[in-house]
Amino acid sequence: MNGYREDFPILKSGLIYLDSAASSLTPEQVLKKMLEYYREYRANTGRGVYRIADRATSELEKARKSVAKLIDAREDEVAFVRNTSEGLNFVASSLKFKKGQNIVTTAIEHHSNFLPWLKISREKGLELRIVNPTKDFLINTEDFEKQVDDNTKVVAITHISNVLGFILPVRDIVDIAHKHGSMVVLDGAQSVPHIPLSVKKLGVDFLSFSGHKMCGPTGIGGFYVNPDVLNELEPIFIGGESVDKVSLHGYTLAKFPASFEPGTLPIAEAIGLGEAARYLMKIGLEKIARNDERLIGLLHEMLSTIEGVKIYGPSQEKRTNLLSFNIRDLDPNDVALFLDISSNIAVRSGFMCAQPLVNLLRSKNGVVRASTYLYNTEEEIETLVERIKDFTK
């Protein structure tokens, strides 16, 4: 994978960037594509008939097609949103709930896939049911069997834990949910950038993910909706081209995805996201996944031999792209600051926007998290471990 490092000039500074789970680096190819828009066809999309407006619209839809292909969806099943959080909030706020229904989620969720359901359950008077991890911090599908029933409207789960790094048994959970007529909302923030993913094979009804975690720009993401459940949604924002016909007394919505894209989109960012999707597909998600597993596996193996280092998560489970740990009773933020100042190593520290889970881990100040991507190397992992050893001497 080292051949791709030259696409990321920031690495020439000697930076060891191990925080891609929060936000990945962006390759030159994506930046070039975004600048192409501003320099060659800077116009609004879907509104003009002149040539550069037509090209802008064409490039935007080309980007949508690439993003859809990345997740094995059709282009008319994917809307552009700002990020994972916005897509998940769209689902929670747009669904039509009835009295007596419930929502099922887990205690390991990122705040973005927990707070919207907590908020809507309070507003609508719905029961929010929580599936807790096992003592080994695994998610047991049998616990979903106990919580999901015929009154469950939504099952909201993450694909990969942003703290523990393991993949949830999504297909099994989908089967349980669909057996009861429930819809499944999937947080793909960590999975879409790192592993091969097919919404068709997983069978999920909604998927949301962020561009800034998958080599794309900030402020743009993807939102997949299974066409079979579109009639369950009522957009919370309308305007611009999100409507088909408007009179002084009413309106009719445009077809999805336009119905969820009111106003002018972040056009350059959407085009950049499309280029990022093509970049990842050219490399191959299988190859990226193998590299992540190899590096995180090496990190786990090396840290396991250091006295005073506590690694979080089930030891028997493979981690994908990240690993969380602490060093004795040191504050995670102090560890991260030391790694940055002493060795130009960037890792995450704190609660990872997953306070309920970190509380279950009984780590009062959070954790240190190292996360890899296609541009990381074994040498960088070894350097990180050597610096961590400095804490334990």
Among 207, 203, 235, smallest CA distance to 96 is for 235
**Which of 23-32, 172-181, 207-216, 232-241 has the lowest average pLDDT?**
232-241
Bridge-based pairing of strands 183-187 and 152-158 is: parallel
Taking 80 as the threshold, does the pLDDT of residue 15 lie above it? Answer: yes
**pLDDT for residue 235 is more than 90:** yes
Cβ-Cβ contacts under 8 Å for 393 (sequence gap 6 or more): none
**Active-site pick, 283, 298, 353, 360:** 353
Identify whether 257 is preceded by a cis peptide bond (ω within 30 of 0).
yes
pTM: 0.97
Q: Output the six-digit token pair for 144.
A: 């979903």
Half-sphere exposure of 61 (CA within 13 A, CB side): 12
Q: Which helix (H) or strand (E) holds 29?
A: helix 28-40
Terminal-to-terminal C-alpha distance of the chain: 33
List CB contacts of 379: < 8 A, sequence separation 6 or more.
none
Q: Nearest CA to 194 among 291, 338, 274, 300?
A: 291
Check residue 315 and give its pLDDT.
Answer: 76
3-state helix, strand, coil in the chain (%, to 5): 45, 20, 35
Number of H helices, E strands in the chain: 12, 15
Res. 267: pLDDT tops 90: yes
pLDDT at 2 over 90: no
User: Mean pLDDT of all residues in the chain?
Assistant: 96
Q: Are 243 and 221 in contact (CB under 8 A)?
A: no
Domain positions in the chain: 2-18+284-392, 29-282
- The percentage of residues in the chain with a pLDDT greater than 90, rounded to a whole number, is 94
Contacts of 83 (CB under 8 A, 6+ apart): 210, 211, 212, 218, 219, 220, 221
Counting Cα atoms < 13 Å in the Cβ hemisphere of 268 gives 16
In the predicted structure, residue 52 carries a pLDDT above the cut 90 = yes
pLDDT-based confidence at 181, cuts 50/70/90?
very high
| Residue 215: per-residue pLDDT | 98
Our answer to whether residue 353 is catalytic in this structure is yes
Q: Is the pLDDT score of 316 beyond 70?
A: no
| C-beta separation of 166 from 319 below 8 A | yes
CA angle, 315 then 320 then 325, to 5°: 50
Query: How far apart, in Å, are the Cα atoms of 379 and each of 26, 117, 289, 325, 376?
Result: 21, 42, 18, 20, 8
Q: Record the tokens describing residue 186, joined without a space.
A: 């999937």
Tens digit of pLDDT for each residue in 107-162? 999 999 999 999 999 999 999 999 999 988 999 999 999 999 999 999 999 999 99
Structure tokens at 183: 């819809």
Question: What is the arithmetic mean of pLDDT over 51-65?
Answer: 97
Pairing between β-strand 322-327 and β-strand 345-346 as defined by DSSP bridges = unpaired
Q: Rounded to the nearest 10 degrees, what angle do helices 285-303 and 267-283 cross at?
A: 80
Q: Whose CA is closest to 276, among 213, 225, 322, 224?
A: 213
Q: Which CATH number fits domain 2-18+284-392: 3.40.50.1980, 3.30.590.10, 1.10.3720.10, 3.90.1150.10?
A: 3.90.1150.10
Please state which CATH class domain 29-282 belongs to.
alpha beta
Distance of CA 211 to the CA centre of its chain: 8
